[in-house]
Amino acid sequence: MIEFYLDGKAGVAPYLQLVQQVKQAVRVGLLKPGDQLPTVREVVAGLAINPNTVLKAYRELEHARLVKGRPGQGTFIVGTIPGPPPGTYARLRRGLRRWLDDAQAAGLDEESIAAFVASTLRDALEGEEVA
C-alpha cells in the first residue's frame, strides 16, 4: 500500500501532489492493477488534510482511467501508465545533450539552465491545463 506525503512548500496543490504520487508509484511498478489505494479516511487521518482534497485526487485519477472506485470496497488501480517505446530515452538523451552543449556555448551557467528549463516546463504545463 502506498503512503502519501505532502510538501507544503512545493507550490503544487495538495490534490495534484497526491495524483502525481500515485502516477509515479504506478510508473515504477510499486502499484500494479488490482492494488488498493488507501481509503479517504486513512489518508486524511495520516496527513491531516481535508477529505475533499483526497476525493478530488481520486476523482482525477479515475478520470484518467488509472483507478476505479468500487462502492463499499475501496479504490483500486485498474490501469497502467504506458512507458515510452524502447529507444526513446536514448534518443531523448542525445537530443538533450546537444541542447545543453548549445546552451553552455551561449554562456548559460548551471543555475540559469535549471531555472530556464523549470520556467519553460511550467509554462508548457499551464498551456496544457488551460487547453
Partner 1 sequence: MSAIDAENLGRRYGSHWALRGCSLQIPTGRVVGLVGPNGAGKTTLLHLAVGLLDPSEGRIATLGSDPRRHREVLERVGFVAQDTPLYPTFTVADTLTLGRRLNRNWDDVAARERLGALDIPLGRRVANLSGGQRAQVSLALALAKRPQLLLLDEPVASLDPLARREFLQSLMDAVAESGITVVLSSHLIADLERTCDFLVLLRQAEVRLADDIETILARHRLLIGPRRHGTGSGIARIVRESHTDKQSTLVVEVDGPIADPAWSVNEIDLEELVLAYLGETVRGSAPAVVPLQRVEAGV
The residues that touch partner 1, with contacts defined as CB under 8 A, are 6, 8, 11, 14, 40-41, 44-53, 115-116, 118-119, 122
Alpha helices in the chain (DSSP H): 14-27, 40-47, 51-63, 88-105, 110-130
Minimum CB distance to partner 1, residue 18 (Å): 12
Q: In Å, how far are 2, 14, 29, 93 from 86, measured between CA atoms?
A: 28, 33, 17, 13
For the chain, the first-to-last Cα distance in angstroms comes to 34
Minimum CB distance to partner 1, residue 15 (Å): 10
Kindly tell me which of 89 and 99 has the beta carbon lying closer to partner 1: 99
Kindly tell me which of 25 and 40 has the beta carbon lying closer to partner 1: 40
Kindly tell me which of 49 and 77 has the beta carbon lying closer to partner 1: 49
